[in-house]
Structure 1
Amino acid sequence: MVQTSNLPKQKYNNDKLVKRIRRNVGKAIADYQMIEDGDVVMAAISGGKDSFVMLDILLSLQQSAPINFEVIAVNLDQKQPGFPEDILPSYLEQKNIPYYIIDKDTYSVVKSKIEDGKTTCGLCSRLRRGSLYSFAEKIGATKIALGHHMDDMVETTFLNMFYGAKLKSMPPKLLSDDKRNIVIRPLAYCREKDIASLAAIREYPIIPCNLCGSQENLQRQNVKAMLNEWDRQTPGRVENIFNATKSIIPSQLADTDLFDFKGLQIDRSSERKAYDFNSEEVSSTNIDESLVIQIANL
């Protein structure tokens, strides 16, 4: 039970949390021009904490934004056994939020193709993405909002490096390969711990993913544990890693498609700036200095 004397402080902290998340979402939207005037934003709602917070903040920003845009909540019912079909419609009706529940039995497809004990997340997400893409076109949605946050994006960066040998992540804004849909991630600047705190305060009716018995992707869990330990030892490290993905210097990496390493040429024709500590003296050599001078004058 919360002590009465603590209520003002608790409210103050809760208000700060909401403002921080709202500010971070607003900044991400502005930085990447995620939402424009006249957009129809299809907010993909899974029933998890992240998508609930995303929907909540988008609706809040809709009321105060200097542009007009629509928000439509869409949940894909994947026909998982025991899925509580009434929870989301009841919540969305109660909040008077425009919504669609679409049915697609991806559960049977996943279970028929993936052996027991194997991770189902990859195939499940691909099937879900295809369903959402096609439905977005059907309802005229111009943006598809997903609930991935900063932690998801940093974890994905390491997963791609460790297991895929690629330096890539989840971008805050993505044009689909066929160029027919744009995906946005409004929570890109938000930390998972803040999202979890807000979800607990708002008491959303969270629905767990039971497709695989709440199966954990071991690789992602290992990366998450590593990042949590880093975050504990050095607060701010996760933010620094994420910010590094926004500050790419191709000449300092190794991708020959992004930078022309083969074409590099020295140019000593102009007067150079002074180097730091450039007053070195040779103490010993077996090189004929006259040859060095001749080469330098070529």
Structure 2
Amino acid sequence: MEKYQEVERSIIKKYRKPIWNRFIGGIKDYELIKPGDKIAVCISGGKDSVLLACCMQHLIKYTEIPFSLQFIAMDPGYNPQNRALLLSNCQLLHIPVKVYDSDIFRVTAGEEKSPCYLCARMRRGYLYRYAQDLGCNKIALGHHFDDVIETILMSMLYGAEMRTMMPKLHSKNFAGMELIRPLYYVRERDILAWKRYNGLQFLQCSCRFTEEGAHKPNGGGKRAQVKALIAALRADNPQVDTNIFRSAQGVNLETVLSWRRGSTARNFLDDYDGCKK
């Protein structure tokens, strides 16, 4: 059996419950794939996006939903070794990737306040454009369960609002395009276990800003700090990550000070006196 077949088989055999079933569960619960979709699977070269590509390749072989796939990677300025690793992994796993070049790392290098935010926005814009040029109506990203709960806490601690990373979004800048996250339920620890089981090596972080920051006392950025906080809380309560996720599903508007939807804002005082018995 060839290596790519062994890797694909491990997803539906050894890791069927923690990876495959949760992958399928997210797609069904949030209606991420519909008949006629043409989906661009975006590959950064890291473990998450490559696992996503493998899952999507297996899914399209057996699903009854008619849809098609393109696999795209955007090189924002990788060093030659990182680009070579991305390409060799795609070749090993029989992923027919199309690579596009950009100068995002160079453009964001001079940004001091929020280079990660700017880089993420620019990368997503490029991916939308490339996908649209290929005739796709959706892009699929490799964000997983841990990314979701970290985003919830980051928004509360640093953004002063309650928000999460949604399983799907309509693009505001590219008409008719949508973003989906099929690994929404998959835990990072299970992705790491799958990677180790198959003896695979992926890009860790090709961002020069993060690599440099990781050597500083509080390096790695706010997300790394929140990840460490969740790990510490989980040591005391193994359900803490699940509880964080469920908090975004169980918002009780009766006990929220204020909320908004679009341009409409509401405050609990708006109805407070009218609710008196």
Given that 2:11 and 2:19 are in contact with CA atoms closer than 8 Å, whether structure 1 keeps it comes out as no
The size of the alignment, in residue pairs, is: 255
In structure 2, stretches of 5+ residues that fail to align are 1-8, 215-219
**How far off its partner does 1:266 sit?**
3.6
Counting only pairs closer than 5 Å after superposition, residues 19-168 of structure 1 correspond to structure 2 as 19-111=17-109, 113-115=110-112, 120-168=115-163
Given that 2:42 and 2:72 are in contact with CA atoms closer than 8 Å, whether structure 1 keeps it comes out as yes
Q: 2:195 aligns with which of 192, 199, 206?
A: 199
Q: How has the CA–CA distance of structure 1 residues 30 and 162 changed in structure 2, closer, same or farther, with 3 Å as cutoff? A: same
Q: Does 1:209 align with 2:217?
A: no
For residue 102 of structure 2, what is the amino acid of its counterpart?
K
Query: What is the match of residue 271 of structure 1?
Result: none
- Deviation string 1:47-100 (CA, Å, 9 cap, x unpaired) is 111111111112122222221222221111112334433333343344433321
Q: Normalized against structure 2, the TM-score is what? A: 0.83
> 190-199 or 213-222: which moved more?
213-222
* Distance across 2 between alignment mates of 1:154 and 1:34: 20
> 89-98 or 129-138: which moved more?
89-98
Over the matched positions of the two proteins, sequence identity in percent amounts to 31
Q: Normalized against structure 1, the TM-score is what? A: 0.78
In structure 1, stretches of 5+ residues that fail to align are 1-10, 269-298
Name which one, 1 or 2, has greater alpha-carbon Rg.
Answer: 1
Q: Secondary structure at the match of 1:144?
A: strand
* Distance across 1 between alignment mates of 2:18 and 2:259: 40
For residue 145 of structure 2, what is the amino acid of its counterpart?
M
Query: What is the match of residue 167 of structure 2?
Result: 172
> 4+ runs of 1 displaced by more than 6 Å?
11-14
Q: Does 1:226 align with 2:234?
A: no
Q: Does 1:237 align with 2:256?
A: no
Query: What is the match of residue 182 of structure 1?
Result: 178
Q: Does 1:251 align with 2:254?
A: yes
* Distance across 2 between alignment mates of 1:12 and 1:62: 17
Given that 2:11 and 2:55 are in contact with CA atoms closer than 8 Å, whether structure 1 keeps it comes out as no
* Distance across 1 between alignment mates of 2:51 and 2:74: 18
Q: How has the CA–CA distance of structure 1 residues 247 and 65 changed in structure 2, closer, same or farther, with 3 Å as cutoff? A: farther
**How far off its partner does 1:22 sit?**
0.6
Q: Secondary structure at the match of 2:13?
A: helix
Q: How has the CA–CA distance of structure 1 residues 14 and 44 changed in structure 2, closer, same or farther, with 3 Å as cutoff? A: closer
Given that 1:72 and 1:97 are in contact with CA atoms closer than 8 Å, whether structure 2 keeps it comes out as no
